[in-house]
Amino acid sequence: MILPLVASIAVAGFNGRIQAAPPQAPPTPVIPAESKEQKDARMAWWRKARFGMFIHWGIYSVPAGEWDGKTNYAEWIRESAHIPVDTYNQFQQKFNPVKFDAKAWAKMAHDAGMRYLVITSKHHDGFNMFDSKYTDFKVTNTPFHRDPIKELSKAVRAEGLKFCLYHSIMDWHHPDYLPRRGWEVKDRPADGADFSRFIQYLRNDVQQILTDYAPLGVVWFDGEWENTWKEPYGSELYALCRTVDPHVIVNNRVGHARDRQLGDYSTPEQTIPATGLPGVDWETCMTMNDNWGYNSHDHNYKSVKVLIHDLVDIASKGGNLLLNVGPTSEGTFPPEAVDRLNGIGAWMKVNHDSIYDTTASVFPKLDWGRCTVRTGSKRSKLFLHVFDWPVDGKLVVPGLKNKIRGARVLGGPNVVAEQTGSGVIVTVPMPPPNEIDTVIEVDVDGAPNVSAN
Ligand code: FHN
């Protein structure tokens, strides 16, 4: 049982009457001690999942990227278009996503092969997309009146996925958040702002999402880079999360400037580290088009082929892919996003075993594609992701030394894999069953053994 953060203790006054003592400073949470085995157990589901859905949804979807004749905005529109806070707040009373269907969203994530879903409970604009007890700038104070985060949490869990929340530290609305945006200081001075009061608001909100929307798989912090957010605040916030829910995972954007390795995993953004991040849990977050939040003019979506290759490339380097959707103000996914999710899902339906619960490739480089691995004590599986099919029907796997137990096309026929001593040659069917990525599962004795030369 966690005491309320602002514990006020009633004490007998000098005249014997009970008087409420002034609120005491909340106790500073301490990061719980954790062994490697305990952390491995806590991270296990996330490491196996490999693939999640990111959702950036808020009142910024009302202008849909357009302001004052320009059309290249999205979730940063208040900052980028210099919209005064009172003008921006008008979107709260225009937000009414009447087509929102939590079960449909959850099913699309599930059918795409995603194993967790991270949605914005609050982005930098400060708008709470859940029924916060600590602000009126929230979704239940809109014509929608409902709590989409609550509805989605139930639907996502019903589909067997982990439900997770993105929560921004940076807050362009709360009167105590500092610094103010440079362009608005004159009209929105910082006089009277108390950053410690903001920290308490942030901690209260975070404690609420961890209790009223429990169990969260991940708390995905962001907006941690401004100089007011000091490392100790991040340590305390991380400790709060892990104290309220010892099982929750927290990303590395809880501490200042995300490179201090505070938090449980690294979060490269819109990029795939060339050699992964060996020895570190990591997740690339990525948009399908050019924006996180909805922009009605942005139709520059990556192809299904590119998105599948990104997922496979990331998994072959030992990482997770968190792939973003920016829903409309009506509560729908853009049609291009639905198309991409369907395309990825069709491939995952056949090939999911080569993604879930796999680890990084054992080869330095493969000219024709990628490799993911599931290592067993007596036998292992190598999943050969063939992007470029051999024109002669002979796939060369350089340096693989293991005794071959068998080989097959995932979702297709068995194939012959011959150990040559300097590598393995797999005789593959022509043409390739899947032009984007045909996966060949090679079962070998023992742990994978690959010679350097
Ligand atoms: O500023 C945000 C941005 O709007 C978006 O939420 C991305 C997603 O990871 N994070 C920040 C930029 O690093």
> 187 and 131: one domain?
yes
> 439 and 301: one domain?
no
Question: Could you tell me the two tokens for 221?
Answer: 């912090």
> 309 and 373: one domain?
no
> 382 and 344: one domain?
no
Q: Answer whether residue 205 is part of any domain.
A: yes
Give the pLDDT confidence score for residue 257 in this predicted structure: 76
Span 117-122, average pLDDT: 99
Q: How many domains does the chain have?
A: 2
Distance 366 CA to ligand 1 centre (A): 33
Among 2-16, 33-47, 291-305, name the one with the lowest average pLDDT.
Answer: 2-16
> 118 and 60: one domain?
yes
Span 375-396, average pLDDT: 97
**Structure confidence at residue 11 as a pLDDT band (50, 70, 90):** very low
Span 103-117, average pLDDT: 99
* CA 55/CA 156 separation, integer angstroms: 13
> 229 and 103: one domain?
yes
> 374 and 306: one domain?
no
State which ligand 1 atom lies nearest to the alpha carbon of 269: 9
**Substitution site in 61, 256, 292 for ligand 1 pocket (most atoms within 8 Å of beta carbon):** 292
Distance 313 CA to ligand 1 centre (A): 22
**Substitution site in 171, 222, 265, 283 for ligand 1 pocket (most atoms within 8 Å of beta carbon):** 222
Span 193-206, average pLDDT: 98
Give the pLDDT confidence score for residue 23 in this predicted structure: 55
| 62-90: b (≥16 Cβ within 10 Å) or e | bbbbbbeeeeebbbbbbbebebebeebbe
Please count the other Cβ atoms lying within 10 Å of the Cβ belonging to residue 442.
24
Span 178-190, average pLDDT: 97
Cβ atoms of 242 and 210 within 8 Å: the answer is: no
- Strand-pair category, 249-250 with 423-427: unpaired
Span 79-89, average pLDDT: 98
State which ligand 1 atom lies nearest to the alpha carbon of 267: 9
Domain of 434 in residue numbering reads as 369-445
Give yes or no for residue 79 CB within 6 A of ligand 1. Answer: no
Distance 38 CA to ligand 1 centre (A): 30
> 41 and 168: one domain?
yes
Q: Answer whether residue 14 is part of any domain.
A: no
Phi, psi of 276, deg, nearest 5: 65, -165
Span 40-58, average pLDDT: 98
Distance 75 CA to ligand 1 centre (A): 9
> Looking at the predicted structure, is the pLDDT value of residue 12 above 80?
no
Q: Answer whether residue 18 is part of any domain.
A: no
| Residue where a domain terminates, one of 323, 354, 385 | 354
Q: Which amino acid is at 93?
A: Q
Give the pLDDT confidence score for residue 453 in this predicted structure: 66
> 335 and 378: one domain?
no
Distance 222 CA to ligand 1 centre (A): 7
């920290």: which residue's tokens?
A: 199
Dihedral, 226, 232, 233, 235 alpha carbons, nearest 10 = 120
